[in-house]
Amino acid sequence: MNTHSDRFRAPSIPKSAMPLSTAALLISSLTTLLTWFVLWQLALAMAGVTEEQVAVSLEKKMYWSAMLARVSDLPWFAWLVLAVLALVPLLLFFPTVKAILQARQARTALQFENLIAARVATANSSNFSWYAIGYSVFVVLFFGGIWFVIAKDIAVGNTFFKLDLMWEKASLVVSAFLTNVFIFMVAQVFILIWGLLIALARMVPGAAGQPIRLLATLYTDAFRGLPSVITIYLIGFGLPLTGFPILGDLPPVWYAIFALTLTYGAYVAEVYRAGIESIHPSQMMAARSLGLNFTQTMRFVIVPQAIRRIIPPLLNDFIGLQKDTALVNVIGTIDAFNQSRILASNNFNLSTVTIVAILFVLITIPQARLVDRLLEKDASKTRGAK
């Protein structure tokens, strides 16, 4: 009793928000300076200034006049882009200024012993400060990246991002990428079916199901452990050598699909199994109690619920699969990676490989968003307002 009233007699006074907002101001300012420095370097790089020329001008003590002369030759749209980029870090000052104003307001409120107003203003101030600091980090990393690309006479840029070369070879690489797309599209369909079969085989009930369970377990253990590149290699080179009627003379792309289905089928089987086991046993019991047999219960009750839960981990495995289509180059299939490597060695430049890298990243993003959307839609359909 006593302690309660004591606590309320001495309410907590909010800590001053001044130091944090001052730090935010400092960080935003430094970020802005760094940004402008990088942009200046970028302007120099675009104007074709080399490190050597910079060194010479410094020696002659005429850095600014020499450099400004060079930079002034840049076309107007280059200036436009640079100017817009230069304005970006200034946005940081909106939250920073708000943070400082709120911190001052908190101080005034405290002087008038208006504790509630002081708390609100302090909370606002620290929110704005962290917002500014967070975005500063973002901006620093972004412009730091640009600096990395243009440093040392655009060493990184010319190695990985040679735009004219990329532009010229893009269509070749993209059309080779269609091979990757074909492989993973077809493999995904097979994997969905094959993985489910394996998962169900691992869960067949009863003593009679034991040999089936054992087989399925052996399979998953083996193919999850086997690196997919080895599976592709063995199947892609091995099966044609055996001379089996149909299996022996498929086009290489189909060996890749076969090998990837075997590997990823094992992964996906485990995902299915985890999903099925995550459905509470009472669902199985309820379905069986209505007279549905094991297969009907799985088909109508358990698997439909499990699917909804496994879509995110399934997408993970599918993205893994999509990336692994690049491994088919070991059996000589001309996929995007193989094509870009050929182009890279012909041109002594890695920029064509960068295109493939970008393509792989680009295809995964819409998939992730689509899955988010689907899950959200399903959730809002079956969930109550509770």
Residues near another protein, by CB under 8 A: 282-283, 285-293, 296, 300-301, 304-305, 308, 381-386
CB 382 → another protein: shortest distance, Å?
Answer: 4
Dihedral sign of CA atoms 63, 65, 70, 72 in order: positive
Distance CA 44, CA 217 (A): 62
Between residues 290 and 361, which has the closer beta carbon with respect to another protein? 290
Q: Can you read off the two tokens belonging to residue 373? A: 């959307």
Between residues 266 and 314, which has the closer beta carbon with respect to another protein? 314
CB 197 → another protein: shortest distance, Å?
Answer: 21
Contacts of 118 (CB under 8 A, 6+ apart): 13, 14, 106, 107, 109, 110
Q: Residue 46, CB half-sphere, CA atoms under 13 Å: how many?
A: 20
Nearest to 178 by CA among 364, 363, 366: 363
Q: How far is the CA of 240 from the CAs of 247, 249, 291, in angstroms? A: 7, 6, 50
Between residues 226 and 284, which has the closer beta carbon with respect to another protein? 284
Distance CA 18, CA 9 (A): 26
CB 288 → another protein: shortest distance, Å?
Answer: 6
Contacts of 41 (CB under 8 A, 6+ apart): 147, 150, 151
- Residue 11, classed as helix, strand or coil, is coil
Between residues 130 and 294, which has the closer beta carbon with respect to another protein? 294
CB 338 within 8 A of CB 153: no
CB 203 → another protein: shortest distance, Å?
Answer: 18
Distance CA 180, CA 101 (A): 55
Return phi, psi of residue 21, to 5°: -70, -30
Amino acid, res. 309: R
Q: Can you read off the two tokens belonging to residue 370? A: 């689509």
Between residues 268 and 287, which has the closer beta carbon with respect to another protein? 287
Distance CA 352, CA 37 (A): 30
CB 305 → another protein: shortest distance, Å?
Answer: 5
Between residues 172 and 307, which has the closer beta carbon with respect to another protein? 307
Between residues 205 and 243, which has the closer beta carbon with respect to another protein? 205
CB 291 → another protein: shortest distance, Å?
Answer: 4
CB 299 → another protein: shortest distance, Å?
Answer: 9
Between residues 108 and 210, which has the closer beta carbon with respect to another protein? 210
Distance CA 334, CA 183 (A): 12
Between residues 65 and 293, which has the closer beta carbon with respect to another protein? 293
CB 308 → another protein: shortest distance, Å?
Answer: 7
Nearest to 41 by CA among 137, 164, 143: 143
Between residues 61 and 386, which has the closer beta carbon with respect to another protein? 386
CB 296 → another protein: shortest distance, Å?
Answer: 5
CB 294 → another protein: shortest distance, Å?
Answer: 9
CB 375 within 8 A of CB 308: yes
